Amino acid sequence: MTSEQIKIKADEVLTKYVPRGGAYKKFDSIMSGENIKFKSVATKDSFLGIFTHANNGQAYIMVNDTITNDGRRNFTIAHELGHYFLCHELKNGQCFDADILEDGTAVDAIEREANYFASCLLMPESKVRSAFLSMLQRSRKAKVKDFLNVRNDVTWGIWCGIGSELKKRYGVSDAALRYRLSRLGLAMFSF
């Protein structure tokens, strides 16, 4: 699928299930509406999540319950929802650290698609663009008001404030937010 097709699919899910607020707060509604059962499973290896079907056809998303970073956990759930909504044909369905990469660098094309879907679902372009630019424009220290090149200087402090607020708002990790802002051409990270 193209990036535009994936974005459109994520927007359809948002329109149907997330009238306002963060998508991560609506995971239960999304899964319930799609008749997907959710389970947390305990494991100590690099397993993060899986989208699969039981023998009776019931769809399941299972996530490693040892993921302690809420942003990482939310991204993993959104990634697995991506497999579902993008109708991916999965061999075994298990996703490990090398598959669910918040920076979009997964080797497998299907995993990259699911990662991009997760980014679009958790951080819709219009909302994250508007929020980021509004915060940047309110910053007294930012010289440029439509792009942030984060380095080890005053821009680092600007980023810390904006990044912290956006991570809370969208329920994502620093890595996921940096990737999304970079991909949208709003920020560059040079540290």
Give residue 109's pLDDT: 87
- For residue 32, the enclosing domain spans 3-122
Residues 116 and 143 in one domain: no
C-alpha to C-alpha distance for 119 and 46, rounded to whole angstroms: 21
Picking from 65, 97, 122, the residue at the C-terminal end of a domain is 122
Judge if 129 and 117 occupy the same domain.
no
Whether 70 and 9 map to the same domain: the answer is yes
Category of 159 on φ-ψ map: left (φ > 0), alpha (ψ -120 to 50) or beta: alpha
Residue 61 neighbours by CB under 8 Å, 6+ apart: 31, 36, 37, 38, 39, 49, 50, 51, 77, 80, 81, 84
**3-class secondary-structure state, position 54:** coil
> What are the residues facing 149 on neighbouring strands?
188
State residue 104's pLDDT score. 67
Count of Cβ atoms closer than 10 Å to residue 19 Cβ:
8
The answer to whether 179 touches 104, Cβ cutoff 8 Å, is yes
Statement to judge: residues 113 and 134 lie in one domain: no
Q: According to the model, what pLDDT value does residue 106 have?
A: 65
Contact 47, 38 (CB under 8 A): no
130 shares a domain with 69: no
pLDDT in tens, the chain (191 residues): 999 999 999 999 999 999 888 999 999 999 999 999 999 998 878 899 999 999 999 999 999 999 999 999 999 999 999 999 999 987 766 777 777 766 767 678 898 999 999 999 999 999 999 999 999 999 998 888 999 999 989 999 999 999 999 999 999 999 999 999 999 999 999 87
